[in-house]
Amino acid sequence: MTGFLAKLGTSLADRWLSLLVLPGMLWAAAAAAASRVGQADAFDPQPLVDWLRSIAAQPAEHRTTWLAVAGAVGVLVSAGAGLAAGGLGSALEHLWAAPGTRPPLAWIVRARQRRWNAVRASARFWIAEADNPSRTGTALTRARAQARRAQRRRLAGPPRPPQRPTSIAERFDVSAARSRALYGLDLILAWPRLWSVLPDGLRADVTAARDAYASAARLAGWGLLYAALGLLWWPAVLPGAVVVAAATTRARTSAGVLADLIDTATDLHLVDLAGGLGVPTATLSAFETGHAIAERLTRPQHPAVPAPATGAP
């Protein structure tokens, strides 16, 4: 037990160091530098150089005391920045996957739907123009080029009108709709039970995809913190925006992998879940099996669905 606790403490310390302190120290250093350079002449490093020289010019005993105090404050600020980035990341995870049924996210859904309709209307217009017999020469060439570009934009977008404010929420909604259509099953209700019957390999893959999604959200949180330094030094907004954009792309990819793995788990192990719940599947189709599982979970005492056998492992 002592060895286990020591290993656990070491693991937690390493995780705390890698997730909070080290990235936070970089942010704290950037904040200190930004506060010294300021907004007046954002690309003049002389104020920062003068500040560092003033520290170096202090007597050794004063400099040692100053460095000790600065180090302690730096660790605290770094940990606080790491916690703030984690909190922002958690908020972004929920925001990216939000259904968008209420304003202001509902306004984003409507804006995405208008853009979806506009892309398809543009494709129809330019295809009709490219087929217009009255167009010849340069006008015909231009119409055909516009038609190809409009078709590429149409094919690059979702095949159905957006129903969610983000592409990540859209992808998760597709998985939920797929589960309802194929199996008559509420995925949110069934997933905790389904997780318990998954093999270790698939569990590890789902966990890795979930961690990658959380890591991307946390990276976006750091990007927002760096962008916030623009209040002290406006060029900080640019790298912050780049980090947020890169993190959003990573989150979209990770969410797609996670949704695919959830679909895979549902396809391959729905019968295992039915067996664990005592639902007979020998004479049932896939949809009937999923519907019977839903019945078992929502109405455990339903007489048409037998309870699990007693003494089952």
Q: What are the residue ranges spanned by the domains of the chain?
A: 100-165, 166-308
Q: Is 140 helix (H, G, I), strand (E, B) or coil?
A: helix
Half-sphere exposure of 252 (CA within 13 A, CB side): 9
Question: Which pTM does this prediction carry?
Answer: 0.79
CB-based contacts of 304-309 (< 8 A; 24+ apart in sequence): 305/278, 305/279, 306/278, 306/279, 306/280, 307/278, 308/276, 308/277, 308/278, 309/278
- pLDDT tens for residues 19-32? 556 788 888 888 88
Residue 306 has pLDDT above 60, yes or no: no
Tokens of 125: 């217009």
- pLDDT tens for residues 143-166? 889 999 999 998 888 888 888 999
For residue 68, what pLDDT band results from cuts at 50, 70 and 90?
confident
Please give the single-letter amino acid code of residue 263.
D
- pLDDT tens for residues 229-253? 999 888 999 999 999 999 999 999 9
Provide the sign of the torsion angle of the four alpha carbons 251, 257, 260, 266, taken in this order. negative
